[in-house]
Structure 1
Amino acid sequence: MDKIMLNGLMFYGYHGLFPEENKLGQRFTVDLVLKCDLSLAGRSDQMTDSIDYGQVYEVAKSVVEGEAKNLIEAVAEEIAQKMFRTFASLEAITIKVDKPGPPIPGYYQSAAVEIERERHYAE
């Protein structure tokens, strides 16, 4: 299946279990792999036959910068559901939500989740 990949989308959100996360917020990074048939767009060279990357960014932004959630798992799931509602040609999606430096003990770069969803799951 064809893929559109958007990497390192950065947003500022207020997701987390701890009050300081909800109050102060932090940066989140999102990677997306959208699976769809791009053959018509490849032949026509028309944006109307593909998925608009800018619109994809805005959908992800509306979730990550929207209502605070406890878990990044919930952030990823809402992004998936909203993408399927927005883009009729989207057949499957992989979403990685990365949370740099969450407030838990230890030394590491980030915590992240990655989910994969198919359209039939979303309906």
Structure 2
Amino acid sequence: MDYIHLKDMQFYGYHGVLAAETTLGQRFRANVSLAVDMTKAGETDDLVYTVNYAEVYAICRDIAEGEPFKLIEALVSKIANTILQAYPDKVKGVRVELIKPDPPIQGYYKEVSVEVTRGEYR
């Protein structure tokens, strides 16, 4: 299997359970990996045989900066499922990690994240 990776995409959204998250918003980072057979794209040098990662970025941005979710588990699932639905014949599997670098909780930590894997992803 071949993979396309979009790493450290950054967005600003209003997702969360706490009032500060839904009022002030916060930064989110995302990493997305797509399982795609790129054999034909590699042989032909033709975009039609692969996935346009600019379009995938736009899907992630529109969801992450769009309608608020209480749980990032719901947000990351929406991103993964939307990508699979957008490319049913090309994307065999997807892994999405969503990172909250500054959640409004007390303690010492670098970040919190949620990751989902959907479809055929190894």
Q: How does 1:27-46 map to 2 (within 5 A)?
A: 27-46=27-46
Structure 1 stretches of 4+ moved >6 Å: none
Give the AA of the match of 1:35.
A
Give the AA of the match of 2:19.
P
Which structure 1 segments of 5+ residues have no match?
none
Deviation, 1:107, is 1.1
- Does the aligned pair in 2 maintain the 1:101–1:108 contact within 8 Å? no
Tell me, in whole angstroms, the C-alpha distance in 2 between the residues paired with 1:68 and 1:53. Answer: 24
Tell me, in whole angstroms, the C-alpha distance in 1 between the residues paired with 2:2 and 2:95. Answer: 13
Cross-structure match for 2:61: 61
So what's the TM-score if we normalise by structure 2?
A: 0.94
Tell me, in whole angstroms, the C-alpha distance in 1 between the residues paired with 2:5 and 2:84. Answer: 16
Report whether the alignment pairs 1:84 with 2:53: no
CA RMSD of the aligned region, Å? 0.9
Deviation, 1:104, is 1.2
> 3-state DSSP class of the match of 1:91?
strand
Cross-structure match for 2:2: 2
Deviations 1:7-62 (A, max 9, x none): 00101100010111111111100001100111010001011111001000000011
Give the AA of the match of 2:7.
N
Tell me, in whole angstroms, the C-alpha distance in 1 between the residues paired with 2:62 and 2:85. Answer: 14
Instruction: Name the % identity.
Output: 37
Give the AA of the match of 1:80.
A
- Does the aligned pair in 2 maintain the 1:13–1:25 contact within 8 Å? yes
Report whether the alignment pairs 1:49 with 2:52: no
Which structure 2 segments of 5+ residues have no match?
none
Q: How does 1:95-106 map to 2 (within 5 A)?
A: 95-106=96-107
Cross-structure match for 2:111: 110
Count matched residues.
119
